[in-house]
């Protein structure tokens, strides 16, 4: 792996702080109508209006990853209550959408993402350095079940490829970017390690327009791009943890999907950056696809 110098500032002139006052946000999502939402460590869901946070829900939990559907509803993973909540902005109401099977609850539910068919893939990180993680799947009209037990090393952020045939997962301990085939029948293929990251701690992952993978690192305050041709390339780095402070999950934003919005578990803010990367559009299933 090409070494990255994590001691030097990089492209911080292209990063700005927004949404001051959010409570240690771990997850962020951008809905189809270009509304930004993020979570808080006390169970808050915030909508970001004109770069300022507005609390729209609070379930007294600990929100981690967020996702959206075609109806602009928000799916927020709650590690305290071991479930996924759904916030409906039209009804201004929050309901419990997903829990683990009876007798086998979620352990550390972390980040969820939709595939094009409406399937929802949820990483369950397990305990740090215990190699007991897994990935769940909620397929339309079916109960939640384990998608794979092979991603065990604290599976964290995840993303589905543009064609819906691959699930990308970043594992945080030890650090790695992994690929899991989504077979035509919906079952999981074998876990494939794309790159070992050693002591780096990746947290969020998204697919760029050119199919490269963009990864945010909780430590060491780094954003990087990985591709088979180019390997690992630093895009932004903040050794002093001011503008990028433990960046966790992120989303692409804007008409051209060339703006990146980062959550920051270590601070009371989001970060906005334009790093010359265009993202791919997330999968936004509609109610019919989800099975509502």
With H, G, I as helix, E, B as strand and everything else as coil, classify residue 288.
helix
Mean pLDDT over 192-209 rounds to: 97
Closest by Cα among 108, 181, 187 to 145: 187
**Residue 219, domain member (yes or no):** yes
> Residue holding tokens 């009371």?
268
Look up the pTM and report it. Answer: 0.97
**Please, what sign has the CA dihedral across residues 148, 283, 280, 109?**
negative
Q: Which domain holds residue 158?
A: 12-290
Using CA atoms in the order 233, 67, 37, 97, what is the torsion angle rounded to 10 degrees? -150
**Residue 258, domain member (yes or no):** yes
* 183-200 pLDDT, tens digit each: 999 999 999 999 999 999
Mean pLDDT over 55-72 rounds to: 98
Q: What is the CATH number of the domain that holds 136?
A: 2.120.10.30
**Residue 7, domain member (yes or no):** no
Sheet holding 155-160, edge to edge: 155-160, 166-172, 175-182, 188-198
**Residue 5, domain member (yes or no):** no
CA distance 149 to 124: 10
Count other C-beta atoms under 10 Å from residue 163's C-beta.
9
What is the total count of domains within the chain?
Answer: 1
**Residue 78, domain member (yes or no):** yes
- Token pair of 3 as six digits: 């070494």
Task: Say if CB 209 and CB 278 are below 8 A apart.
Answer: yes
The secondary structure of residue 223, as a DSSP letter, is E
* pLDDT of 2: 58
Mean pLDDT of the chain: 97
């Amino acid at each position: 792996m090409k070494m990255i110098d994590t001691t030097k500032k990089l492209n911080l002139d292209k990063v700005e702080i927004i949404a001051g006052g959010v409570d240690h946000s771990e997850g962020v999502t951008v809905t189809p109508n270009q509304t930004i939402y993020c979570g808080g460590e006390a169970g808050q869901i915030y909508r970001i209006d004109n770069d300022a946070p507005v609390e729209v829900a609070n379930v007294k939990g600990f929100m981690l990853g967020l996702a959206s559907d075609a109806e602009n509803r928000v799916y927020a993973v709650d590690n305290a209550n071991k479930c996924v909540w759904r916030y409906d902005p039209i009804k201004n109401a929050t309901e419990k959408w997903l829990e683990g099977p009876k007798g086998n609850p979620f352990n550390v539910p972390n980040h969820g993402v939709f595939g094009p068919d409406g399937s929802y893939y949820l990483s369950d990180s397990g305990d740090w350095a215990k190699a007991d993680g897994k990935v769940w799947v909620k397929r339309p009209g079916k109960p939640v079940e384990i998608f794979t037990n092979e991603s065990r090393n604290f599976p964290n952020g995840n993303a589905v490829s543009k064609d819906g045939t691959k699930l990308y997962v970043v594992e945080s301990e030890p650090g790695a970017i992994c690929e899991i085939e989504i077979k035509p029948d919906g079952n999981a293929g074998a876990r494939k390690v794309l790159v070992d990251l050693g002591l780096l701690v990746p947290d969020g992952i998204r697919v760029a327009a050119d199919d490269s993978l963009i990864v945010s690192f909780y430590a060491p305050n780094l954003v990087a791009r990985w591709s088979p041709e180019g390997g690992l390339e630093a895009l932004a780095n903040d050794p002093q943890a001011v503008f990028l402070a433990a960046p966790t999950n992120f989303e692409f934003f804007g008409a051209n999907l060339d703006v990146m919005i980062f959550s920051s578990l270590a601070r009371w803010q989001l970060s906005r950056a334009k790093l010359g990367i265009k993202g791919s559009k997330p999968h936004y299933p509609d109610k019919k696809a989800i099975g509502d």
